[in-house]
Each structure stands twice: as C-alpha cells, then as structure tokens.
Amino acid sequence: MLSYPRVFISAGERSGDRFGASLAAAILDIEPDARLFGVGGPQMAAAGVRVLADTVGHAGMGFRYVFASLDDWLKVFRRCIRQFNGESPDIIVPIDNPGFNLRLAQHARERQIPVCYYVSPQVWAWQPRRIHRIGRLVNRMMTILPFEKPLYDRIGVDCRYVGHPLLDYLANTRMEEDAKQRFLRDCSASERTAVGLLPGSRLQEIRHTFPLICDAAAVMSRELPQVRFLVAASAPEHAGEIADVLSSRRLSARILVGKTSEIMQAARVCLVVSGTAALETAYFGTPMVVIYRAGSWARHVAPRMLNVKYISLVNILAGREVVPEFLKFDDNARGIGEAALHLLTDEAAWSKCRTDMDEVVRSLGPAGTSRRAAEAVLDCLNRTHPG
C-alpha cells in the first residue's frame, strides 16, 4: 500500500454525494493517511474530501436536461484534468453518474490510473451493451444491487457486491413510535391522516413531476378531506419552488426542509418520485405509490429503450409489483390518486405492501456497505500499486 494513497472520488447528485461521504469516512477509518479529493457536494466535503467542484447542483435526468447542462459538465471535466496534471490520483472511484463518470474513467485508463467504480450504471434497465464498454474501463466494479454482479461476472469483470449504502445511513435515522407522534403533532397532523409527498432532490423533478403529484394529492383530498399533506424539501433553495407549485395547484400542504426520513416514517402513505427515495421509503416500511414522468415525446421511444418491466427499484428487486407505480407521459393524475387512496383505505392492501417491502429490503443483505466498499477500493489500489 502507498504511504499516502491519493483517492479521487467523483459523484454527481445528492445520493452520490451521500454515498461518497460514507465511503470517504470508511476509507479514512481504515487508512487515516489517505488523501481524498474529487468532485461532489457538501456531504463529501464534510467527510474529509477536498471537493474541487460542486456537482450536486448539476444533477438531472432526461435528454433535454443533459443537453442543457453539457457546458457545466465540460467545465467540471476540464477542472478534473487540470487537477490530474498537477496531482495525479493513485485511484479513481466514480459513483454512478455514467454520463460524466465514464468519460472520466476513459481518461483515467489512458493515463493508466486504476478505476474502481461504485454503483453500477443501470445497464440492466437501458442500453445493456454499455456493460462491455464499462468492463473495458474499470479495474473493479462495486455493485449495490444483488442481481448486478452476475451481469459483470458473465463478461469476466472483477466485480464485488458490497450491498446498498442506504442500509448504513438509514439505520441511524429510525424513529420510535412516540417520536413519530411528536413529529406529527409538530406538523399539526396528529389528528389527521398524514400523506408524504416526496418530489425528489432535483429541481428538474420538482418542476416536471411534482405538479403531477400535487394533482394526485388533490384527487385524494376530494375523497378524504381529513388528509394532511407533508412535502419533503431536500434543500432550503427548493422550498420556494415547491411552494410555487403548490400555489399553482391550490393545494394546501406543509413544506418541511431536511425532514425527508421523518416524513417517510410518520406518513401513512407516500407519493414518491422514482429513484433512491422509493427504496428508502420501503426501508421504513411505509406503503407508497411511485411516479416517473417522461415527456409526451418519449411515449414511443421509452418502450424500445427500457429493458425492464418496472420502473421502481422496489418492484425490480421483487420481480413483481409490490408498490403501485406509474410511468406517465401525460398530465392525468387520477390513477395515481386512486392507487394511493386504495392503500389508505384498504387495510389488507396496506399491510401486504408493508410485508412485501420488508422482503425486498432483507434481500439487500446486511449493513456495512461503506466499509466493504472502502476495503474493496483499498484492495484494488494495493493490487495495482503493490509494495
């Protein structure tokens, strides 16, 4: 092992920033002399990573977003290259974000810098042939979903299943029943049925998908006036955008900043934008409806590109529809609202959803993901820099 291993970590959204922060803490716990730098967000910085550029604000989804933010990502890429020219890392750890990180991995391979990729791009969902390119670029892949490792094993890529990072950081956020009741009282929701609205951590999702969630909530409110809606704002700067959408939809709701896990646990049912938040909500055992909204132009393109039957990780892991999900190409939210109402009013459906989600979470294996990932990174570094 090198005396002062230089580890470059590259994350591109809030979940990646959180995963990168946990990984950084675990690396420093094992190898206190490691020098960590990279691109990411405030959580990585707080964990001891020297962050060269804040990429969390660039995160987004969809082709239109990619093209709109291309210039920002090119600036970040050039910043990384300048850093490599001044201080070349001993290993690079890209975290998901394939649009940026695969290009960074390509550059690293050209410089003979080992690449230990953390959180595989979703080759099982779309563009499955990408796995061969990824295999040529990485020295090791670290997957967080159990069915991903066999995909890499089949093409001869060094791959380790390390488990899902949410098992580590969510364990410390569990609330006891009395804490949930205090939270609901503070939100003026203790005497009403609390429903969580989770619009995601990207401004793009708030602007594009949250209006549809609000329309579904309005469907619920008309049938059950006693419902109290709690909206999770992942950052203070998102609260204004959320308030604007609520106002445009004339929906009454309480906006809570930085209380996402509390809402997930205290709500009776949640409406969730498809992504990591759905798996987090499943971890807490709260029944949900998952929504992914695509542009109307994608109605005929998406079925040919997608290689999976479901859009939610919960259902993908289960291999069946454990939670209701909607891939929407239009503005009709009635079906979403009715599915949520069914979970609210049918005790048997609500209980079955909880039981099925618990099976999904248990399939991810034990906690300790960040430690296993850190060990895999340092082992890869040791193999490529012996002595």
Task: Give per-residue pLDDT as tens, 295-340.
Answer: 654 444 555 555 568 889 999 999 999 999 999 888 899 999 999 9
Q: What is the pTM of this model?
A: 0.86
Q: Flag whether 336 is in a domain.
A: yes
Q: C-alpha distances in angstroms, 81 versus 24, 106, 287? A: 21, 12, 45
Whether residues 129 and 244 fall in one domain: no
How many separate domains does the chain show?
Answer: 2
Whether residues 124 and 213 fall in one domain: no
Which residues have a Cβ under 8 Å from the Cβ of 230 and sit 6 or more positions away?
187, 189, 194, 195, 196, 197, 253, 254, 256, 263, 266, 267
Which residues have a Cβ under 8 Å from the Cβ of 152 and sit 6 or more positions away?
120, 131, 135, 141, 143, 159
Q: Flag whether 168 is in a domain.
A: no
C-alpha R_g of the chain: 21
Whether residues 117 and 238 fall in one domain: no
* pLDDT the model gives residue 197: 98
Percent pLDDT > 90 in the chain is: 76
Whether residues 249 and 377 fall in one domain: no
Whether residues 143 and 192 fall in one domain: no
Candidate from 5-19, 123-137, 362-376 with smallest mean pLDDT? 123-137
Task: Say if residue 52's pLDDT is above 90.
Answer: yes
Q: Flag whether 170 is in a domain.
A: no
* pLDDT the model gives residue 307: 59
Q: Which domain holds residue 138?
A: 6-163+368-384
What is the CATH classification number for the domain harbouring 122?
3.40.50.2000
- Coil, helix or strand for 21? helix
- Angle among Cα 66, 68, 70 to the nearest 5 degrees reads 65
* pLDDT the model gives residue 213: 97
Which residues have a Cβ under 8 Å from the Cβ of 264 and sit 6 or more positions away?
196, 198, 232, 270, 277, 280, 281, 284, 286
Whether residues 183 and 286 fall in one domain: yes
Whether residues 39 and 145 fall in one domain: yes
Ramachandran category for residue 13: left, alpha or beta (phi over 0 → left; psi -120 to 50 → alpha): beta
Whether residues 100 and 233 fall in one domain: no
* pLDDT the model gives residue 204: 83
Return mean pLDDT, the chain: 90
Whether residues 318 and 186 fall in one domain: yes
Q: Flag whether 169 is in a domain.
A: no
- Rounded average pLDDT over 185-210: 91
Whether residues 212 and 347 fall in one domain: yes
Whether residues 121 and 226 fall in one domain: no
Task: Say if residue 67's pLDDT is above 90.
Answer: no
- Rounded average pLDDT over 231-253: 95
- Rounded average pLDDT over 138-149: 96
Whether residues 262 and 118 fall in one domain: no
